[in-house]
Chains A and B, each alone.
Chain A
């Protein structure tokens, strides 16, 4: 359904745009109908930039992004299929509008003639486990971070979209609410919604996603079926990320040392090596592998 092909984004930075910064570098992956793909990587690795390009909020420097074969074309029709919910809900929400006004604007923009609108609003709020009375007459600063985040998901759901780009949507939520939101995404997925789930929390990504893409400095270092990427991580960076995840009942350990660069061990030449069925890894750029840095 959604396909990214060799997507690159170079930002101009510095006074007068004199310098450039490559935020995303040759990234290719896809998200199918009813599939959750998680995109993980540390801060600054380019996750949000990819999300923004999919939503048409930032232009591509090169490469292509297509939805059902057609290139991203920001506009009403596109946003009826694709919506995003972002990291900081307080910034993506106009603070002067109350919640009911925000939901009504969706009706005015997209569904002027739907008769049972109120029922749909109620249904969407119920899907995110919000009590309409609790949120509808409130301004954003009167809601907790978790309530606001769920309200934004409800807004996206009202549109009956095909693809949701969810960028760090659970980082503001407490553990119990987080599970509710994840289960909600899982239910929607069962109804055919595709989700690009951007997160730095690996346990959450693992819980939900069929496939996982690990991003580092704008490039994919490892990707594939979630159980393979998490169960048998091949790239030292993936291993390092996994070792930083705090686990209940077992104290932090240091990352297991990398046993050489798997990419070059297997004598590959392309950008990503198929290490196993549905499991790809890039060069780790270790001292002794002599290959290009990942």
Chain B
């Protein structure tokens, strides 16, 4: 078992109070598994990703544990987390494309970064990995600004996996790319897993059709909690949580036209996490809600092997 997260709670401190962005989530990711993380904007995907590697100053670890390869990660302690970053866990953040230092040539930057982690740069290995993602070696002599979006994204992937971390978290790394580049980047991620550069992966995106192409398992989150987690084809073909069902149904497929069939988003919006509702957090948007949903929070239940659903009606 590569990663085991148990009842993890991470809140944001704000002037108005605590934003309960991640409020008791439990799941695990096996060796060689790619877990796709889906859910509307603001449901806590990025918070979860950051919580596993680097919390920002306003985030607070309230409770729960994260275990990676049998070791408990000191996620609430920035300094003690440091030895794990890059070596054991790596994150490719949302908008990472513009985060590369623009004044340094890429090769120089990679060297400095690896050295700062106390490791000597293995040039041959670096070249082999550039080959793997079809980047010419000359990119090392160029500045980040000279690379196209897809090239930058592949470069960031190579850098963040250079030390063979156990877990790679990729947060919306393909949303700004065109379909062909998106496909190349997504396939490169799978290639990294197959080559053993990373053991397991959490792939965050709002594009469920894309997640479906590369993830083994998909976890749908809602308002800081797990709604449903199951093998990718199960989530797509037979989702059991009402939210997962609505989310899947709101996707336009090539072939569906506005003139023929008006798709609908999910009415309403996610609740404020400053003061989340009692019981099931989805209840004010749920077509199936009944009295119990307001009183008691539905636990995540394993309805069949590897298929978890948190809903009283599932």
A201–B179 touching, CB < 8 Å = yes
B209 CB within 8 Å of chain A: yes
- Name the distance in Å between A190's Cβ and chain B's nearest Cβ: 10
A244–B148 touching, CB < 8 Å = no
Q: Give the number of A-B contacts (CB < 8 Å).
A: 126
Closest to B186 in A: A246
Q: A201-B179, A249-B237 are in contact. Are A176 and B40 (CB under 8 A)?
A: yes
Q: Which has the most chain B C-beta neighbours within 10 Å: A168, A204, A249?
A: A249
Q: A173-B206, A208-B258, A249-B212 are in contact. Are A42 and B251 (CB under 8 A)?
A: no
B265–A177 touching, CB < 8 Å = yes
A27-35, A178-186, A278-286: which lies at the interface: A178-186
Closest to A87 in B: B176
Chain A, range 131-189, C-beta contacts under 8 Å to B: 144-146, 168, 171-180, 182-183, 186
**Residue in A177, A249, A252 whose CB lies within 8 Å of B40:** A177
For the complex, count residues of B whose C-beta is within 8 A of A.
Answer: 44
Q: A177-B41, A182-B258 are in contact. Are A244 and B182 (CB under 8 A)?
A: yes
Please classify the interface of chain B as helix (H, G, I), strand (E, B), loop, or mixed, using the class held by over half of its residues. Answer: loop
Q: Which residues of B sit under 8 angstroms from A241, Cβ to Cβ?
A: 179-180
B256 CB within 8 Å of chain A: yes
0/1 interface trace, chain A 195-220, chain B, CB 8 Å (1 if under): 00000111110111000000000000
B180–A247 touching, CB < 8 Å = no
Q: Which has the most chain B C-beta neighbours within 10 Å: A87, A206, A246, A247?
A: A246
- Name the distance in Å between A122's Cβ and chain B's nearest Cβ: 17
Chain B, range 139-178, C-beta contacts under 8 Å to A: 148-150, 175-178
Q: A176-B266, A200-B178, A201-B179 are in contact. Are A248 and B41 (CB under 8 A)?
A: no
Chain A, range 231-248, C-beta contacts under 8 Å to B: 240-242, 244-248
Chain A, range 248-292, C-beta contacts under 8 Å to B: 248-249, 251-252
Binding site for A on B (CB under 8 A): 39-42, 148-150, 175-183, 186, 206-210, 212-213, 233, 236-237, 246-248, 250-258, 262-266
A sample of 8 more A-B contacts (CB under 8 A), given A177-B265, A248-B248, A252-B213, is: A42-B179, A174-B41, A175-B206, A175-B247, A227-B257, A244-B183, A246-B212, A248-B253
